[in-house]
Amino acid sequence: MKCKLTTSKLLRSLVAVAVFSMISAWAQTGSAAGSAASASSLPSAPASPIATGAGGTKIGTINIEQAVVGTNEGQRDFETLRKKLEPKQNELKSQNDELEALQKQLQTQQDKLNEDARATLVKQIETKKKSFDRSVQDAQEDAQNQQKEIFQRILQKMAPVIIKHAQESGFAMIVDTSNPWPQSPILWYGEGGDITKAVVDLYNTQSGVPAPAAAAAPKPAGPKPAAPKTTAPPNK
């Protein structure tokens, strides 16, 4: 079984905190003169289709995870991170292959090994597995920290773009749809009020970062080898 150091789970865990703290802060100051002045330089886009709730309240939606990762800047930076992490991923794969070879040796030769040789091999496997597990954990934490830095940096700059577009489009509220129900309180929403693409387009225009050569979205971190299970057969 293989595992992946992807952005998906990480971004979902970040959205609940990062979106609330950053975007709500911008929303509270969005009508202030200073914020209005800084936002006025942003390019305008056609108003997104509006979902209208009871009493004429306009509610829009945005998938923050898709918005951040879908920007030209996000695709560029996550792809750069993926390439940066490749050497470590290759190192982990080599460690995993070595462990699997030792385990296969134990399984196929256990009947031929005396008690001392078998104990030495089991000990070697346990030692290498502990070292491998520590390396995997360190690599995961490092990748997640770097992914988090990229995500928060882009979101920090995207927040005023979201607020300006929402205000110009007449929305009274924008809700994040990155997490499906029941992980989020949003049970259902229509696609008509989604502003994700509009925000991404506005952000790309503002950032000036060109679209990546490859159309496919990058994978921020490559696959990591799964820790093999060490099951020592009973002594005979």
Proportion of the chain above pLDDT 90, given as a percent: 54
The answer to the question of residue 166 being in a domain is yes
Domain count, the chain: 1
The answer to the question of residue 28 being in a domain is no
pLDDT at residue 31, as a whole number: 45
The answer to the question of residue 63 being in a domain is yes
pLDDT digits (tens, 9 = 90+) for 53-78: 444 468 999 999 999 999 999 999 99
Separation of alpha carbons 230 and 123, rounded Å: 11
pLDDT at residue 77, as a whole number: 97
The answer to the question of residue 103 being in a domain is yes
The answer to the question of residue 6 being in a domain is no
The answer to the question of residue 101 being in a domain is yes
pLDDT band per the 50, 70, 90 thresholds, residue 6:
very low
The answer to the question of residue 78 being in a domain is yes
CA-to-CA separations, 45 to 42, 162, 218, in angstroms, rounded? 10, 11, 26
Q: Which residue range forms the structural domain that includes residue 82?
A: 48-181+194-224
Q: What is the pTM of this model?
A: 0.68
Cβ atoms of residues 68 and 10 within 8 Å: no
pLDDT at residue 191, as a whole number: 81
Tell me the angle at which helices 115-168 and 72-109 cross, rounded to the nearest 10 degrees: 160
- Tokens representing residue 174 in the block: 């924008």
The answer to the question of residue 229 being in a domain is no
> Could you tell me which residues come within 8 angstroms of residue 35 by beta carbon, excluding any fewer than 6 positions away?
26, 29, 160, 163
